[in-house]
Structure 1
Amino acid sequence: MIDTGIVILGSGMAGFGAANYLAEQGVSARIYDQRPRPGGLTSSFGSGDGFIFDEGVHISFTKSERVKALFAKSADKFEIGRVYCNNYWQGHWIKHPAQVNLHGLPTDLIVDCIKDFTAANAVEEPLVANYADWLLATYGPTFANTFPMVYTRKYHTTDASNMSTDWLGPRLYRPSLDEVLRGALEHEPLDVFYVDEFRYPTEGGFEGFIKGFYDKAKVYNNHEVVEIDPIVQIVTFASGATAAFNTLISSIPLPKLVPLIKGVPNDVLDASRRLACSQVVVVNVGVNRPVETKAQWSYFYDEDIPFARVSYRNKLAPKSCPPNCGAFQAEVYFSDKYRPLTGTPDDWIEPVIDSLISCGLIRDRSEVIHQSAIWIPFGNVIFDLERRAAVEIVQGYLDDIGIRYCGRFGQWGYIWTDAAFLSGEQAARRSLKAQGTEAPKLALA
């Protein structure tokens, strides 16, 4: 292995995507992370009572055969399943996506949704300036205001009118009138969700998909970065230790990375402060029986229910729970910019259990045998109307000083696990090219 002076900051999927690519090219790298062990946001942990939880809700549904093979080699054994997720609204459970699964909802609501959908789609060139406009133009006001507008406030912590449409991609299905009608008249007639197959490690939680890469670089944990000097090419850590680099690859969230850079211009610093992300309280609840649902996860639209989404641990991998037990991971979203955390993460445990009972997922508190909460300061990028301009300023500056960025929060994008891994590869490839040692491109399909 050749040491060309490449330093990687962050030991999550993106960091190890970079490290693995470099190792495949015969290049060694050093990874530094402030946490006591590698894994980043893909970390999993045992609760001590037989439950294994992830730091957030993760599954793999990559369509890249190469990434599938890499993850499979890392995890050794994994579950493969057909994705089924559903929605809860005012006592009704309907398949996801709701726009083609209205069957079973109140008749008046269905009629109004269809009337509005028809009228909205008769407008040939609707004016779309933000996400709210897009929702109204795509679905009409009844559906938009009942479902995605509410979910946006719960999940993104801001109104749809304050969000762009940059992030949509395949995430919100645009149905035909035939599909809306069929889904209103029949029970679950269509499979149109953009996720089909999922994979999840059989044992040890989602971290199994990254553990196999831990030996692809020299990993230094408990190394919190306090300064990056791009001129003399030195990273300084809280301990006083330093690391020299020829090339720096970072998956550190941009609002944390930029203030660390010595000599950063004020306009770049100001732009980094305008970047918004959600923060998550993940409430873990274990029960003394398997969770009885077909779904791997569910979305919740009622505003009096604190969580936006719940995943079911034993539906992803039975060995994530003790025998004959089940568990929930419920996500409650906040943000410094729009909805600051009230109380402490533990304060949300009881409200979550109350709502799980009210939804019928837990019968009563006697079933609960585990409860805990995790605070995740970086949950999802919020695509508010300030994001694009701010990201262009920050990334333009990083490009100018030669810092390669990758990962969800390094790129400040809405990317999944496989895309984060591939973004690390891309950063590594750019690094080798800049050093004059570019390797043949890998297929990114």
Structure 2
Amino acid sequence: MSNPSFVVIGSGMAAFGAAYRLHSEGISPVMFDKNSYHGGHTTSFKNEGGFIFDMGPHISYTKDPRIQEIFADSVDQKYETIQIYLNNYWRGHWPQHPAQLHLHGLPHDIVVKVISDFVEEKNAPERTVRNYADWLYASFGKTFSETFPMQYTKKYHLTAAENLSTDWLGPRIYRPSLEEVLLGALSPTAPHVHYVTNFRYPTAGGFVRYLTKFVPLGNLKLGHELTAIDPNSHELSFANGVTARYDQLVSSVPLPELIPMIKGAPSDVVDATRRLACSTCVLVNLGINREDISKAHMTYFYDEDMCFARLGFPHMLSTQNAPPGMGSIQAEVYFSSKYKPFTGKPEDWIEPVIRDLRRCGLLRDEDQIMTKEARLLKYANIIFDLERAEAVKTVHAYLDDIGISYCGRYGEWGYLWTDESFKSGEKAAERALSGALTQR
């Protein structure tokens, strides 16, 4: 029997995780990507003004030594190691992140009510946790939950906390003790407690540089948009008329796009993909003629009348992300086809973002905006609503049955960080390798 043909769809972090694992077995997979560039959501762009922007906020804070070394080797050990600083904006106040540990400086009536509710909740009978809202009330009490995380949920997840599961939480939200809450309320210098303490970022070229040494591991074919998969004949069809055969297929294609392309996909599986929710993000990228815009690497915004949910400052990740003496801002404005459909053009949000940056004081009247652009990220964050778990189970069971190995945030339909996406690709490659052995 001839050597099996391994095909990987996509060229992002998960897809190259699969290529990396296959390469370790002496296999060079054929990789197809619909774009004219590699990287998927890991892509970085340098505009005419000399500013580099990633496709959304990307940093590497993995604590896995193996992944740390793999990434470091891919950039020839040329990376920045940065102590992270995160903060929040709420009604003119800028508490450090996480807000539950940094109440100092907020209005006294809010601080008193937050602490009172926190104590009351701790002394109440244990609450049954059926959803994210229950978890928030049990963790922080009513006032803090409804003032901060529930407001952010509406902007970032685009649905109410009552409609979210807790499957995505992991270490992402810190549950403090009463002593920690009191210390953060009484003192301006509370302990820095967060799941991210420091991170790495490539010195030059943006986050996509982490893929540099992975690109040669696969036979990469750009400009190939997948349109159909025949699981019986193991044939792929592309929009440019090319067809290709596979013995083992690894896909990082978003599930709502992948399933309708599969010939003969059962109606219940197709219906399940329609219940999967994710956010769409408009990224507004601005280059500014000064670098002292903010001391934070990222800021979370809770106010409903601020159009963006989060800001990042790419020049804070590497000085080479902006021309000397200049700074950059990336604003995230969220939508969802299921809960808050996007209409219009991405460019429509440039001026509203600039307006709100001036309102909160990050942009000054005398600032010169050197460059401005907007990009639409169709798939941003997975929304863990109460329909997700059962729908994902149905879709994955079908893909397992027909031997398609799925990976990445949109293949697993999970909340995967960079290192988790890479490992997801490795695991998908493992399944493909096992499938090849079974076929022999």
TM-score, scaled to structure 2: 0.97
Counterpart residue number, 2:259:
258
Partner residue in 2 for 1:19: 19
| Distance in 2, Cα, partners of 1:364 & 1:158 | 35
Paired position in structure 1 for 2:120: 119
Aligned residue runs from structure 1 range 212-223, under 5 A: 212-223=213-224
Gaps of 5+ in 2: none
Alignment length (residue pairs): 437
Q: Which residue of 2 aligns with 1:441?
A: none
- Corresponding position of 2:67: 67
- Partners of 1:160 and 1:383 in 2: CA distance: 10
Q: CA deviation at 1:243?
A: 0.8
Q: How far apart, in 1, do the equivalents of 2:75 and 2:381 lie?
A: 25
Deviations along 1:146-193, one digit per CA (max 9) or x if unpaired, are: 100000000011111111111000011110000000010011321210
Distance 1:396 1:437 in 2: 18
Which aligned pairs between 1:398-413 and structure 2 lie closer than 5 A?
398-413=399-414
- How far apart, CA to CA, are the structure 2 residues paired with 1:408 and 1:342? 24
Matched, 1:103 2:87: no
SS in 2 for 1:112: helix
Q: Counterpart of 1:39?
A: 39
The residue identity in structure 2 corresponding to 1:247 is Q
Following TM superposition, by how much is the alpha carbon of 1:341 offset from its aligned partner in structure 2, in angstroms?
A: 1.4
Tell me the CA shift for residue 365 of structure 1. Answer: 6.0
Q: Distance in 1 between matches of 2:337 and 2:12?
A: 23
Structure 1 segments of 4+ aligned residues over 3 angstroms from their partners: none
Could you tell me how far apart the structure 2 residues matched to 1:437 and 1:406 are? Answer: 20
1:71 corresponds to which letter in structure 2? F
> Retained in 2: the 8 A contact 1:291–1:361?
no
Which secondary structure does the structure 2 equivalent of 1:142 belong to? helix
Which SS does the other structure have where 2:284 is aligned? strand
Q: Could you tell me the TM-score, scaled by structure 1's length? A: 0.96
AA in 1 matched with 2:60: S
Q: Secondary structure at the match of 1:27?
A: coil
Q: 1:110 to 1:21 in 2, by over 3 A?
A: same
What secondary structure, in the 3-state scheme, does the structure 2 residue paired with 1:275 have?
coil
Report SS of the residue matched to 1:364: coil
Q: Is the 8 A contact 2:293 2:363 kept in 1?
A: no
- Alignment partners' CA distance in 2, 1:368 and 1:382: 34
Q: Does the 8 Å CA contact 2:71/2:210 hold for their aligned counterparts?
A: yes
Counterparts of residues 67-86 of structure 1 (less than 5 Å): 67-76=67-76, 77-86=78-87
AA paired with 1:387?
R
The 3-state SS of whatever aligns with 1:94 is coil
Deviation at 1:342, TM superposition (A): 3.5
Distance 1:239 1:286 in 2: 37
- Find the counterpart in structure 2 of residue 332 from structure 1: 333
Query: 8 Å contact 1:4–1:27 — kept in the other structure?
Result: no
Aligned amino acid, residue 361 of structure 1: L
Q: Which amino acid aligns with 1:353?
A: I
Instruction: Name the SS of the counterpart of 1:383 in structure 2.
Output: coil
**Structure 1 equivalent of residue 143 of structure 2:** 142
**Corresponding residue of 1:443:** none
CA distance in 1, matches of 2:42, 2:366: 30
For each residue in 1:286-332, what CA deviation from the matched residue of structure 2 results, as whole angstroms up to 9, or x when unmatched?
Answer: 10010343211110111100111101111101110001000000100
Q: CA–CA distance in 1 between the matches of 2:375 and 2:316?
A: 21
Counting only pairs closer than 5 Å after superposition, residues 27-426 of structure 1 correspond to structure 2 as 27-76=27-76, 77-364=78-365, 366-426=367-427
Task: Give the deviation of 1:124 after TM superposition.
Answer: 3.4
Q: Residue type matched to 2:280 in 1?
A: Q
CA contact (8 A) 1:284 1:328 kept: yes
Q: Distance in 1 between matches of 2:122 and 2:420?
A: 33
CA distance in 2, matches of 1:330, 1:33: 27
Alpha-carbon offset, residue 437 of structure 1: 8.8
Structure 1 runs not aligned, ≥5 long:
439-445
Give 1:187's aligned amino acid. P
CA distance in 2, matches of 1:40, 1:225: 14
Deviations 1:257-289 (A, max 9, x none): 000000000000000111010000000011001
CA distance in 2, matches of 1:95, 1:364: 26
Q: Cα distance, 1:75 vs. partner?
A: 1.8
What is the one-letter code of the residue matched to 1:284? N
Cα distance in 2 for residues equivalent to 1:321 and 1:3: 47
Taking the aligned partners of 2:158 and 2:292, their CA distance within structure 1 comes to 29
Please say if residues 31 and 219 of structure 2, whose CA atoms lie closer than 8 Å, have aligned partners that are also in contact. Answer: yes
Cα deviation, residue 3, structure 1:
5.1
Q: Distance in 2 between matches of 1:316 and 1:348?
A: 24
Shift of 1:37: 1.4
SS in structure 2 at match of 1:353: helix
Deviates more, 1:335-344 or 1:324-333: 335-344
* Partner-residue secondary structure (3-state), 2:191: coil
Q: 1:200 to 1:437 in 2, by over 3 A?
A: farther
Residue identity in the other structure for 2:392 = V
- Local SS of the residue matching 2:227: strand
Q: Secondary structure at the match of 2:250?
A: strand
State the alpha-carbon separation in 1 of the partners of residues 51 and 424 from structure 2.
Answer: 32
Q: SS where residue 331 of structure 1 aligns?
A: strand
- When the two chains are superposed, the root-mean-square deviation of aligned CA atoms in Å is 1.3
In structure 2, the CA distance between the partners of 1:253 and 1:365, relative to structure 1 (3 Å rule), is: farther
